Amino acid sequence: MTSPAFPARRLGVLISGRGSNLQAIIDAIGAGTLEATIGIVISSRASAPGLARARAAGIPSAVIAAADHPHRDACDAAIVDRLRAAGVELVCLAGYMRLVGRPLLEAYPERILNIHPSLLPSFPGLEAQRQALAHGVCVTGATVHLVDAGLDAGPIVAQAAVPVHDDDTAESLAARILVQEHRIYPEAIAFILGGGWTVRGRRVVKADAGA
Ligand code: GRF
């Protein structure tokens, strides 16, 4: 099915930590390169520095921590309630350190994006930059993908390649990848919000693209 445009262009951003991708989204909106609003930022951790970025931008925020909910589904259901109350149409995971559960996937089918610091399907999961160094690849990168029930597994929306240097540490490589993350995430969000795309097999394509 071809995705319609998102009339309100309202995002919900889920974070757990630093929030530099959240900041890139805020900045792209401020610069007018991403036509959207952020209805709410939800953090899985009360100590996430990204919450201060939301406050500074005047965006409502909430902390919904797994520890406060007896079951995982209850936590996800609470997140769905807050997202819906904020009128969110598209959910953007930005350093969100929990697997997305069934209630959230069912409430937002093909409406959840994630950013991951590798060229998926290589190096899913934690410490993707360290995995890339350990494997000895010459090129790694960043991926924006639709979220499904798998770990960093959904259809790919955008990717950027990043060279690995001989003297790289996980930190220096992560910093180089992050520059690309901050570029491609707002671009990918704009593409998805524009509608007119469809998922063909595993591919996210413009609906009028030839088979
Ligand atoms: C980024 O590298 C992102 O790709 C990964 O977690 C990190 C989050 O960084 N999923 P930040 O919180 O957006 O600064």
pLDDT single digits (tens) 114-124: 999 999 999 99
d(CA 114, CA 144): 6
Rounded to 5 degrees, what are φ and ψ at 28?
-65, -35
Token couple for 157? 């929306």
User: Cα-flanking dihedrals φ and ψ of residue 92, to 5°?
Assistant: -115, 115
Ligand 1 lined by 147 (C-beta under 6 Å): no
- Tokens (6 digits) for 136: 């000895």
Percent of the chain predicted with pLDDT > 90: 92
| Predicted pLDDT at 182 | 98
Find the mean pLDDT for residues 180-198.
98
CA distance 36 to 189: 9
Mean pLDDT calculated for residue range 63-70: 89
- pLDDT over 70 at 200, yes or no: yes
CA of 208 to the centre of ligand 1 (A): 33
**Residues linked to residue 37 through DSSP beta bridges, in sequence order:** 10
Q: What is the pLDDT of residue 211?
A: 66
Can you give the pLDDT at residue 70? 79
How confident is residue 210, by pLDDT bands cut at 50, 70 and 90?
Answer: confident
Out of 69, 116, 135, 145, the active site residue is 116
- Find out whether 73 and 103 touch, Cβ atoms under 8 Å: yes
pTM over 0.85: yes
Residue 115 in contact with ligand 1 by CB distance below 6 A: yes
Q: Which domains does the chain have, with CATH numbers?
A: 8-109 (3.40.50.170), 115-211 (3.40.50.170)
User: Of ligand 1's atoms, which has the minimum distance to the CA of residue 19?
Assistant: 12
Cβ count near 127 (within 10 Å): 14
- The reply to whether ligand 1 has any atom less than 6 angstroms from the CB of 152 is no
Using the predicted structure, report yes or no on whether residue 66 has a pLDDT greater than 90. Answer: no
H or E element, residue 59: none
What mean pLDDT, rounded, does the chain reach?
96
Q: Is 150 exposed, middle or buried (0-12, 13-18, 19+ CB in 10 A)?
A: exposed
